[in-house]
Amino acid sequence: MMDERFAQGNSLLHTRDPKAKIIAATAFVTASAITNSFTVAAVSFALSIVLFFLTKLPVQLVLKRLLAVNSFTFFLWLTLPLTYGGSEFTAVGPLSLSMEGIRLAALITLKTNAIVISIIALLGTSRIANIGHALESLHLPQNLCFILLFSYRYVFVIYQEYRRLVRAAQLRCFVPATSIHTYRTFGYLFGMTLVKSWNRATRVHQAMVLRGFDGHLIPLSQDRYTSDDTIFLSVMLSLTLLLILLNFL
Amino acid sequence: MHISEGVLSPSILIAGGAITCAGTAIGLKKLNYDKVMGVSLLTSTFFVASLIHVPLGPGSVHLVLGGLMGILLGWSCFPAILVALFLQTIFFQYGGLVVLGANTTIMALPAVICFYLFRTWFKENGRKRQVAAFSCGFLSIFLSSLLMALALSFTDKGFLQASQLIIAAHLPLMFIEGIITMFTVSFLAKVQPEFLQIKE
Protein backbone atom coordinates (compact mmCIF):
# COMPACT_ATOMS: atom_id res chain seq x y z
CA MET A 1 0.00 0.00 0.00
CA MET A 2 2.77 2.41 0.91
CA ASP A 3 5.69 0.98 -0.98
CA GLU A 4 6.65 4.00 -3.11
CA ARG A 5 6.23 1.95 -6.26
CA PHE A 6 6.53 5.06 -8.41
CA ALA A 7 9.98 5.84 -7.01
CA GLN A 8 11.52 2.72 -8.56
CA GLY A 9 13.12 3.28 -11.92
CA ASN A 10 15.92 5.12 -13.60
CA SER A 11 14.17 7.18 -16.23
CA LEU A 12 14.88 10.78 -17.11
CA LEU A 13 12.58 11.98 -14.31
CA HIS A 14 13.74 9.49 -11.68
CA THR A 15 17.31 10.70 -11.94
CA ARG A 16 16.54 14.43 -11.62
CA ASP A 17 17.46 16.19 -8.41
CA PRO A 18 14.47 16.34 -6.03
CA LYS A 19 14.99 20.07 -5.48
CA ALA A 20 14.44 20.78 -9.17
CA LYS A 21 11.41 18.49 -9.19
CA ILE A 22 9.84 20.13 -6.15
CA ILE A 23 10.14 23.61 -7.66
CA ALA A 24 8.89 22.40 -11.05
CA ALA A 25 5.96 20.54 -9.49
CA THR A 26 4.89 23.47 -7.31
CA ALA A 27 4.94 25.89 -10.25
CA PHE A 28 3.18 23.52 -12.64
CA VAL A 29 0.52 22.46 -10.15
CA THR A 30 -0.20 26.06 -9.14
CA ALA A 31 -0.62 27.13 -12.76
CA SER A 32 -2.98 24.22 -13.48
CA ALA A 33 -4.93 24.55 -10.24
CA ILE A 34 -5.94 28.19 -10.50
CA THR A 35 -6.94 28.33 -14.14
CA ASN A 36 -10.51 28.78 -15.27
CA SER A 37 -9.97 28.07 -18.91
CA PHE A 38 -10.64 24.77 -20.60
CA THR A 39 -7.74 25.23 -23.01
CA VAL A 40 -5.22 25.62 -20.18
CA ALA A 41 -6.65 22.63 -18.30
CA ALA A 42 -6.50 20.51 -21.46
CA VAL A 43 -2.93 21.58 -22.25
CA SER A 44 -1.78 20.86 -18.71
CA PHE A 45 -3.50 17.48 -18.86
CA ALA A 46 -1.64 16.69 -22.09
CA LEU A 47 1.65 17.90 -20.57
CA SER A 48 1.13 15.76 -17.48
CA ILE A 49 0.60 12.70 -19.67
CA VAL A 50 3.80 13.49 -21.56
CA LEU A 51 5.60 13.79 -18.20
CA PHE A 52 4.14 10.49 -17.11
CA PHE A 53 5.37 8.69 -20.21
CA LEU A 54 8.82 10.11 -19.54
CA THR A 55 8.84 8.16 -16.24
CA LYS A 56 8.30 4.83 -18.08
CA LEU A 57 6.08 3.64 -15.22
CA PRO A 58 3.38 1.03 -15.92
CA VAL A 59 0.06 2.62 -16.84
CA GLN A 60 -2.14 0.26 -14.79
CA LEU A 61 -0.58 1.53 -11.57
CA VAL A 62 -1.57 5.11 -12.23
CA LEU A 63 -5.04 4.15 -13.47
CA LYS A 64 -5.75 2.52 -10.12
CA ARG A 65 -4.70 5.69 -8.30
CA LEU A 66 -6.79 7.85 -10.58
CA LEU A 67 -9.85 5.74 -9.87
CA ALA A 68 -9.50 6.42 -6.14
CA VAL A 69 -8.83 10.12 -6.64
CA ASN A 70 -11.83 10.58 -8.88
CA SER A 71 -14.29 9.66 -6.13
CA PHE A 72 -14.48 13.35 -5.21
CA THR A 73 -14.97 14.46 -8.81
CA PHE A 74 -17.59 11.72 -9.15
CA PHE A 75 -19.43 13.32 -6.23
CA LEU A 76 -19.24 16.67 -8.04
CA TRP A 77 -20.66 15.09 -11.22
CA LEU A 78 -23.56 13.78 -9.15
CA THR A 79 -24.38 17.10 -7.51
CA LEU A 80 -23.22 20.03 -9.64
CA PRO A 81 -25.27 19.45 -12.83
CA LEU A 82 -28.42 19.10 -10.73
CA THR A 83 -27.88 21.93 -8.27
CA TYR A 84 -25.86 24.56 -10.08
CA GLY A 85 -28.74 26.41 -11.73
CA GLY A 86 -28.17 28.61 -14.76
CA SER A 87 -29.19 27.70 -18.26
CA GLU A 88 -30.66 24.28 -18.84
CA PHE A 89 -28.68 21.82 -20.91
CA THR A 90 -31.16 19.02 -21.08
CA ALA A 91 -33.92 17.62 -18.92
CA VAL A 92 -34.08 13.98 -17.87
CA GLY A 93 -37.60 13.41 -16.66
CA PRO A 94 -38.24 15.84 -13.83
CA LEU A 95 -34.51 16.65 -13.39
CA SER A 96 -32.94 19.48 -15.30
CA LEU A 97 -29.20 19.41 -15.90
CA SER A 98 -27.50 22.78 -15.91
CA MET A 99 -24.98 23.65 -18.60
CA GLU A 100 -22.73 25.60 -16.22
CA GLY A 101 -22.79 22.77 -13.69
CA ILE A 102 -21.60 20.27 -16.27
CA ARG A 103 -18.94 22.69 -17.50
CA LEU A 104 -17.59 23.23 -13.95
CA ALA A 105 -17.58 19.52 -13.14
CA ALA A 106 -15.75 18.74 -16.38
CA LEU A 107 -13.19 21.50 -15.80
CA ILE A 108 -12.48 20.30 -12.25
CA THR A 109 -12.16 16.69 -13.40
CA LEU A 110 -9.66 17.68 -16.07
CA LYS A 111 -7.64 19.82 -13.65
CA THR A 112 -7.63 17.25 -10.84
CA ASN A 113 -6.44 14.46 -13.09
CA ALA A 114 -3.78 16.61 -14.72
CA ILE A 115 -2.42 17.56 -11.31
CA VAL A 116 -2.50 14.05 -9.89
CA ILE A 117 -0.65 12.64 -12.88
CA SER A 118 1.95 15.40 -12.77
CA ILE A 119 2.49 14.90 -9.02
CA ILE A 120 3.06 11.19 -9.61
CA ALA A 121 5.48 11.96 -12.43
CA LEU A 122 7.40 14.70 -10.61
CA LEU A 123 7.25 13.93 -6.88
CA GLY A 124 6.28 10.27 -6.87
CA THR A 125 9.50 9.46 -8.70
CA SER A 126 11.61 10.53 -5.71
CA ARG A 127 11.81 8.77 -2.38
CA ILE A 128 10.23 10.69 0.47
CA ALA A 129 13.52 10.65 2.36
CA ASN A 130 15.14 12.49 -0.54
CA ILE A 131 12.22 14.92 -0.80
CA GLY A 132 12.56 15.67 2.92
CA HIS A 133 16.23 16.49 2.61
CA ALA A 134 15.58 18.51 -0.54
CA LEU A 135 12.93 20.56 1.29
CA GLU A 136 15.47 21.21 4.01
CA SER A 137 18.01 22.50 1.52
CA LEU A 138 15.25 24.67 0.04
CA HIS A 139 15.20 26.36 3.46
CA LEU A 140 11.96 25.04 4.89
CA PRO A 141 11.99 25.06 8.72
CA GLN A 142 14.32 22.36 9.98
CA ASN A 143 11.85 21.01 12.53
CA LEU A 144 9.18 20.59 9.87
CA CYS A 145 11.53 18.55 7.69
CA PHE A 146 12.50 16.55 10.76
CA ILE A 147 8.85 15.70 11.43
CA LEU A 148 8.40 14.74 7.78
CA LEU A 149 11.45 12.49 7.70
CA PHE A 150 10.79 10.81 11.02
CA SER A 151 7.07 10.32 10.67
CA TYR A 152 7.75 8.80 7.27
CA ARG A 153 10.39 6.55 8.82
CA TYR A 154 8.02 5.29 11.51
CA VAL A 155 4.74 5.12 9.60
CA PHE A 156 5.51 1.57 8.53
CA VAL A 157 6.63 0.49 11.99
CA ILE A 158 3.54 1.89 13.66
CA TYR A 159 1.25 0.50 11.00
CA GLN A 160 2.70 -2.94 11.65
CA GLU A 161 2.29 -2.51 15.38
CA TYR A 162 -1.36 -1.61 14.82
CA ARG A 163 -1.81 -4.61 12.52
CA ARG A 164 -0.36 -6.84 15.23
CA LEU A 165 -2.93 -5.57 17.72
CA VAL A 166 -5.71 -6.17 15.20
CA ARG A 167 -4.44 -9.70 14.57
CA ALA A 168 -4.45 -10.35 18.31
CA ALA A 169 -8.03 -9.12 18.47
CA GLN A 170 -9.04 -11.30 15.52
CA LEU A 171 -7.51 -14.36 17.16
CA ARG A 172 -9.85 -13.64 20.04
CA CYS A 173 -12.80 -13.77 17.62
CA PHE A 174 -13.26 -10.03 17.21
CA VAL A 175 -15.54 -9.37 14.24
CA PRO A 176 -16.09 -5.66 13.47
CA ALA A 177 -19.73 -4.62 13.25
CA THR A 178 -21.73 -1.44 13.75
CA SER A 179 -21.82 -1.73 17.52
CA ILE A 180 -20.56 0.07 20.58
CA HIS A 181 -18.36 -2.95 21.32
CA THR A 182 -16.55 -2.50 17.97
CA TYR A 183 -16.01 1.19 18.57
CA ARG A 184 -14.73 0.54 22.07
CA THR A 185 -12.32 -2.06 20.73
CA PHE A 186 -11.04 0.29 18.03
CA GLY A 187 -10.74 3.08 20.57
CA TYR A 188 -8.63 0.91 22.86
CA LEU A 189 -6.60 -0.49 19.95
CA PHE A 190 -5.76 2.99 18.79
CA GLY A 191 -5.02 4.09 22.35
CA MET A 192 -2.56 1.22 22.68
CA THR A 193 -0.97 2.19 19.36
CA LEU A 194 -0.55 5.74 20.69
CA VAL A 195 1.03 4.52 23.92
CA LYS A 196 3.43 2.25 22.03
CA SER A 197 4.46 4.96 19.60
CA TRP A 198 4.92 7.48 22.42
CA ASN A 199 7.20 5.13 24.32
CA ARG A 200 9.05 4.28 21.16
CA ALA A 201 9.59 7.99 20.53
CA THR A 202 11.17 8.36 23.96
CA ARG A 203 13.49 5.41 23.35
CA VAL A 204 14.48 6.58 19.87
CA HIS A 205 15.15 10.06 21.17
CA GLN A 206 17.32 8.75 24.00
CA ALA A 207 19.24 6.52 21.60
CA MET A 208 19.85 9.44 19.27
CA VAL A 209 20.95 11.78 22.03
CA LEU A 210 23.37 9.10 23.22
CA ARG A 211 24.89 9.07 19.75
CA GLY A 212 25.37 12.81 19.80
CA PHE A 213 22.30 13.93 17.88
CA ASP A 214 22.18 17.73 17.69
CA GLY A 215 19.02 18.30 15.69
CA HIS A 216 20.82 17.86 12.42
CA LEU A 217 20.06 15.01 10.03
CA ILE A 218 22.68 13.86 7.58
CA PRO A 219 21.28 12.37 4.38
CA LEU A 220 22.72 9.03 3.31
CA SER A 221 22.36 9.60 -0.41
CA GLN A 222 23.81 12.84 -1.63
CA ASP A 223 21.74 14.22 -4.49
CA ARG A 224 23.90 16.29 -6.71
CA TYR A 225 22.43 19.18 -8.63
CA THR A 226 23.79 18.99 -12.17
CA SER A 227 23.46 21.07 -15.30
CA ASP A 228 20.87 18.57 -16.55
CA ASP A 229 18.70 19.58 -13.61
CA THR A 230 19.03 23.23 -14.57
CA ILE A 231 17.93 22.41 -18.12
CA PHE A 232 15.02 20.34 -16.83
CA LEU A 233 13.96 23.09 -14.43
CA SER A 234 14.12 25.81 -17.09
CA VAL A 235 12.09 23.72 -19.53
CA MET A 236 9.46 23.03 -16.85
CA LEU A 237 9.30 26.65 -15.75
CA SER A 238 8.95 27.96 -19.30
CA LEU A 239 6.16 25.45 -19.96
CA THR A 240 4.46 26.67 -16.80
CA LEU A 241 4.86 30.29 -17.91
CA LEU A 242 3.30 29.33 -21.24
CA LEU A 243 0.35 27.80 -19.36
CA ILE A 244 -0.14 31.03 -17.42
CA LEU A 245 0.06 33.14 -20.58
CA LEU A 246 -2.50 30.87 -22.30
CA ASN A 247 -5.03 32.12 -19.73
CA PHE A 248 -4.94 35.58 -21.28
CA LEU A 249 -5.40 34.49 -24.89
CA MET B 1 -11.85 14.85 4.35
CA HIS B 2 -9.93 16.33 1.49
CA ILE B 3 -10.69 18.83 -1.18
CA SER B 4 -9.12 17.79 -4.45
CA GLU B 5 -6.69 19.98 -6.28
CA GLY B 6 -8.17 22.29 -8.87
CA VAL B 7 -11.47 22.92 -7.11
CA LEU B 8 -10.92 25.98 -4.94
CA SER B 9 -10.48 29.55 -6.14
CA PRO B 10 -7.12 31.31 -5.77
CA SER B 11 -8.32 33.60 -2.96
CA ILE B 12 -9.47 30.64 -0.83
CA LEU B 13 -6.22 28.82 -1.56
CA ILE B 14 -4.23 31.86 -0.43
CA ALA B 15 -6.33 32.29 2.71
CA GLY B 16 -5.89 28.61 3.61
CA GLY B 17 -2.20 28.79 2.89
CA ALA B 18 -1.79 31.87 5.08
CA ILE B 19 -3.63 30.32 8.04
CA THR B 20 -1.57 27.14 7.69
CA CYS B 21 1.68 29.14 7.52
CA ALA B 22 0.78 31.08 10.66
CA GLY B 23 -0.42 27.98 12.53
CA THR B 24 2.63 25.97 11.53
CA ALA B 25 4.94 28.80 12.58
CA ILE B 26 3.28 28.96 16.02
CA GLY B 27 3.31 25.18 16.28
CA LEU B 28 6.99 24.94 15.39
CA LYS B 29 7.88 27.75 17.75
CA LYS B 30 6.29 25.89 20.65
CA LEU B 31 8.22 22.76 19.73
CA ASN B 32 11.52 22.34 21.36
CA TYR B 33 14.14 19.91 20.41
CA ASP B 34 13.00 17.33 23.01
CA LYS B 35 9.42 17.30 21.85
CA VAL B 36 10.02 17.04 18.14
CA MET B 37 10.53 13.28 18.20
CA GLY B 38 7.25 12.74 20.06
CA VAL B 39 5.38 14.92 17.58
CA SER B 40 6.93 13.02 14.66
CA LEU B 41 5.79 9.66 15.97
CA LEU B 42 2.33 10.97 16.81
CA THR B 43 2.15 12.28 13.24
CA SER B 44 2.78 8.80 11.90
CA THR B 45 0.30 7.33 14.37
CA PHE B 46 -2.41 9.68 13.15
CA PHE B 47 -1.44 8.87 9.60
CA VAL B 48 -2.08 5.24 10.52
CA ALA B 49 -5.43 6.26 12.02
CA SER B 50 -6.53 7.42 8.58
CA LEU B 51 -5.94 3.86 7.37
CA ILE B 52 -8.26 2.39 10.02
CA HIS B 53 -11.65 1.62 8.60
CA VAL B 54 -14.43 1.14 11.11
CA PRO B 55 -17.69 -0.44 10.00
CA LEU B 56 -20.76 1.73 9.69
CA GLY B 57 -23.89 -0.06 8.54
CA PRO B 58 -23.18 -1.70 5.19
CA GLY B 59 -20.09 0.41 4.49
CA SER B 60 -17.16 1.72 6.45
CA VAL B 61 -15.54 5.06 7.27
CA HIS B 62 -11.93 5.80 8.02
CA LEU B 63 -10.93 7.59 11.21
CA VAL B 64 -9.64 11.17 11.28
CA LEU B 65 -9.24 11.79 15.02
CA GLY B 66 -8.46 15.48 14.57
CA GLY B 67 -9.93 16.33 17.96
CA LEU B 68 -7.66 13.86 19.74
CA MET B 69 -4.72 15.24 17.82
CA GLY B 70 -5.58 18.74 18.99
CA ILE B 71 -5.80 17.62 22.63
CA LEU B 72 -2.50 15.74 22.53
CA LEU B 73 -0.51 18.19 20.44
CA GLY B 74 -2.02 21.65 20.88
CA TRP B 75 -0.66 24.07 18.29
CA SER B 76 1.83 21.44 17.15
CA CYS B 77 -1.05 19.70 15.39
CA PHE B 78 -0.59 22.24 12.57
CA PRO B 79 2.84 20.97 11.47
CA ALA B 80 1.77 17.40 12.26
CA ILE B 81 -1.35 17.56 10.07
CA LEU B 82 0.55 19.41 7.35
CA VAL B 83 3.13 16.62 7.22
CA ALA B 84 0.50 13.86 7.40
CA LEU B 85 -1.42 15.39 4.49
CA PHE B 86 1.78 15.85 2.49
CA LEU B 87 2.58 12.17 3.02
CA GLN B 88 -0.92 11.29 1.85
CA THR B 89 -0.42 13.38 -1.27
CA ILE B 90 2.76 11.54 -2.15
CA PHE B 91 1.59 8.06 -1.12
CA PHE B 92 -1.98 8.04 -2.32
CA GLN B 93 -2.34 11.27 -4.36
CA TYR B 94 -5.21 12.41 -2.13
CA GLY B 95 -5.51 16.16 -1.86
CA GLY B 96 -2.70 17.98 -3.58
CA LEU B 97 0.13 20.44 -3.31
CA VAL B 98 -1.45 23.85 -3.76
CA VAL B 99 -4.56 22.86 -1.85
CA LEU B 100 -2.39 21.54 1.02
CA GLY B 101 -2.73 24.82 2.92
CA ALA B 102 -6.51 24.81 2.70
CA ASN B 103 -6.77 21.14 3.63
CA THR B 104 -4.46 21.60 6.60
CA THR B 105 -6.53 24.54 7.84
CA ILE B 106 -9.73 22.52 7.44
CA MET B 107 -8.40 19.85 9.79
CA ALA B 108 -6.00 21.66 12.10
CA LEU B 109 -7.97 24.79 12.96
CA PRO B 110 -10.88 22.81 14.51
CA ALA B 111 -8.30 20.69 16.37
CA VAL B 112 -6.75 23.81 17.93
CA ILE B 113 -10.20 25.19 18.77
CA CYS B 114 -11.05 21.90 20.54
CA PHE B 115 -7.75 22.10 22.40
CA TYR B 116 -8.60 25.52 23.84
CA LEU B 117 -12.24 24.69 24.53
CA PHE B 118 -11.72 21.44 26.38
CA ARG B 119 -8.21 21.27 27.74
CA THR B 120 -9.17 22.16 31.31
CA TRP B 121 -11.93 19.53 31.28
CA PHE B 122 -9.42 16.82 30.51
CA LYS B 123 -7.62 17.41 33.77
CA GLU B 124 -10.61 16.21 35.78
CA ASN B 125 -11.36 12.56 36.25
CA GLY B 126 -14.71 10.99 35.57
CA ARG B 127 -17.68 12.06 33.55
CA LYS B 128 -16.42 15.51 32.68
CA ARG B 129 -13.45 14.11 30.80
CA GLN B 130 -15.67 11.67 28.93
CA VAL B 131 -18.00 14.44 27.86
CA ALA B 132 -15.03 16.57 26.81
CA ALA B 133 -13.52 13.72 24.79
CA PHE B 134 -16.77 12.98 23.01
CA SER B 135 -17.35 16.67 22.24
CA CYS B 136 -13.79 16.96 20.98
CA GLY B 137 -14.22 14.17 18.46
CA PHE B 138 -17.67 15.33 17.47
CA LEU B 139 -16.91 19.03 17.23
CA SER B 140 -13.66 18.70 15.31
CA ILE B 141 -15.36 16.77 12.51
CA PHE B 142 -18.33 19.13 12.55
CA LEU B 143 -16.12 22.22 12.31
CA SER B 144 -13.94 20.58 9.67
CA SER B 145 -16.89 19.78 7.45
CA LEU B 146 -18.21 23.29 8.07
CA LEU B 147 -14.90 24.83 7.00
CA MET B 148 -14.83 22.56 3.97
CA ALA B 149 -18.36 23.61 3.05
CA LEU B 150 -17.47 27.29 3.53
CA ALA B 151 -14.35 26.97 1.38
CA LEU B 152 -16.41 25.38 -1.38
CA SER B 153 -19.29 27.82 -1.27
CA PHE B 154 -16.98 30.86 -1.19
CA THR B 155 -15.28 29.47 -4.27
CA ASP B 156 -18.46 29.25 -6.26
CA LYS B 157 -22.07 29.85 -5.29
CA GLY B 158 -22.96 26.74 -7.29
CA PHE B 159 -21.32 24.57 -4.63
CA LEU B 160 -23.84 25.67 -2.00
CA GLN B 161 -26.02 22.59 -2.14
CA ALA B 162 -23.08 20.26 -2.60
CA SER B 163 -21.53 21.66 0.57
CA GLN B 164 -24.74 21.20 2.56
CA LEU B 165 -24.62 17.59 1.41
CA ILE B 166 -21.03 17.33 2.65
CA ILE B 167 -21.99 18.41 6.17
CA ALA B 168 -24.92 15.99 6.20
CA ALA B 169 -22.74 13.15 4.93
CA HIS B 170 -20.27 13.72 7.76
CA LEU B 171 -22.92 13.45 10.50
CA PRO B 172 -22.43 9.73 11.20
CA LEU B 173 -18.65 10.23 11.26
CA MET B 174 -19.08 12.93 13.93
CA PHE B 175 -20.75 10.46 16.28
CA ILE B 176 -18.26 7.67 15.56
CA GLU B 177 -15.30 9.98 16.09
CA GLY B 178 -16.85 11.23 19.31
CA ILE B 179 -17.35 7.71 20.64
CA ILE B 180 -13.92 6.46 19.61
CA THR B 181 -12.17 9.58 20.97
CA MET B 182 -14.02 9.02 24.24
CA PHE B 183 -12.83 5.42 24.54
CA THR B 184 -9.28 6.24 23.48
CA VAL B 185 -9.05 9.05 26.03
CA SER B 186 -10.40 6.89 28.87
CA PHE B 187 -7.86 4.23 27.87
CA LEU B 188 -5.00 6.74 27.84
CA ALA B 189 -6.08 8.16 31.20
CA LYS B 190 -5.77 4.69 32.72
CA VAL B 191 -2.66 3.46 30.92
CA GLN B 192 -0.50 6.52 30.40
CA PRO B 193 -1.97 9.56 32.10
CA GLU B 194 1.09 11.75 31.43
CA PHE B 195 -0.02 11.66 27.82
CA LEU B 196 -2.97 13.89 28.65
CA GLN B 197 -0.83 15.99 31.00
CA ILE B 198 -3.07 14.86 33.82
CA LYS B 199 -1.82 14.87 37.35
CA GLU B 200 -2.59 11.67 39.22
Write out pLDDT tens, residues A191-215: 999 999 989 988 999 999 999 888 7
Q: Is residue B141 part of a domain?
A: yes
- Hey, is the C-beta of B87 within 8 angstroms of any chain A C-beta? yes
> Are residues B191 and A192, on separate chains, in Cβ contact within 8 Å?
yes
CATH assignment of the domain containing B46: 1.10.1760.20
Q: Is residue A92 part of a domain?
A: yes
Please indicate, yes or no, whether residues A73 and A195 belong to a single structural domain of this protein: no
Distance of residue A228 Cα from the nearest chain B Cα, in angstroms: 24
Please indicate, yes or no, whether residues A240 and A120 belong to a single structural domain of this protein: yes
Within 8 A of A112 by CB-CB distance, chain B residues are: 4-7, 96
Please indicate, yes or no, whether residues A68 and A173 belong to a single structural domain of this protein: no
Please indicate, yes or no, whether residues A86 and A9 belong to a single structural domain of this protein: yes
Q: Is residue B1 part of a domain?
A: no
Please indicate, yes or no, whether residues A42 and A155 belong to a single structural domain of this protein: no
Residues of A (147-186) whose Cβ lies below 8 Å from B:
147-155, 157-159, 162, 176-178, 180, 182-184, 186
DSSP-derived 3-state class of residue B143: helix
C-alpha distances (whole Å) from A212 to each of A147, A200, B32, B49, B169 are: 19, 18, 17, 32, 50
Q: Is residue B54 part of a domain?
A: yes
Please indicate, yes or no, whether residues A30 and A94 belong to a single structural domain of this protein: yes
Instruction: Give the residue from chain A lying closest to B43, CA to CA.
Output: A151
- Contact partners, residue A2, CB within 8 Å, separation at least 6: A155, A156, A159, B91
Please indicate, yes or no, whether residues A121 and A177 belong to a single structural domain of this protein: no
- Hey, is the C-beta of B69 within 8 angstroms of any chain A C-beta? no
Flag whether the ipTM exceeds 0.85: yes
Q: Which of B38, B43, B51 sits opposite A159 (nearest CB)?
A: B51
Q: Is residue B200 part of a domain?
A: no
Distance of residue B21 Cα from the nearest chain A Cα, in angstroms: 11
Please indicate, yes or no, whether residues A148 and A190 belong to a single structural domain of this protein: yes
Please indicate, yes or no, whether residues A97 and A71 belong to a single structural domain of this protein: yes
User: In chain A, pLDDT over 90 holds for what percent of residues?
Assistant: 49
Query: How large is the average pLDDT for residues B53-72?
Result: 87
Q: Is residue A25 part of a domain?
A: yes
Please indicate, yes or no, whether residues A206 and A227 belong to a single structural domain of this protein: no
Number of domains forming the structure of chain A: 2
Q: Is residue B73 part of a domain?
A: yes
pLDDT in tens, B117-153: 998 888 877 788 899 999 999 999 999 999 999 999 9
- Contact partners, residue A84, CB within 8 Å, separation at least 6: A98, A100, A101, A104, B158
Residue B150 structural domain? 10-190
Q: Is residue A134 part of a domain?
A: no
pLDDT in tens, B148-162: 999 999 988 878 888
Number of domains forming the structure of chain B: 1
Gap between the Cα atoms of A108 and A89, Å rounded = 18
Q: Which of A86, A148, A187 sits opposite B183 (nearest CB)?
A: A187
Mean of all residue pLDDT scores within chain B: 89
Residue A190 structural domain? 141-210
> What's the pTM value of the predicted model, to 2 decimals?
0.92
Q: How confident is the model at residue A147 (pLDDT cuts 50, 70, 90)?
A: very high
A135 pLDDT higher than 60 = yes
- Hey, is the C-beta of B181 within 8 angstroms of any chain A C-beta? yes
Please indicate, yes or no, whether residues A17 and A78 belong to a single structural domain of this protein: yes
Please indicate, yes or no, whether residues A81 and A180 belong to a single structural domain of this protein: no
Q: Is residue B3 part of a domain?
A: no
Q: How confident is the model at residue B199 (pLDDT cuts 50, 70, 90)?
A: very low
- What is residue B1's predicted lDDT score, i.e. its pLDDT? 66
Please state the φ and ψ torsions of residue A123, each to the nearest 5 degrees: -95, -35
- Hey, is the C-beta of A99 within 8 angstroms of any chain B C-beta? no
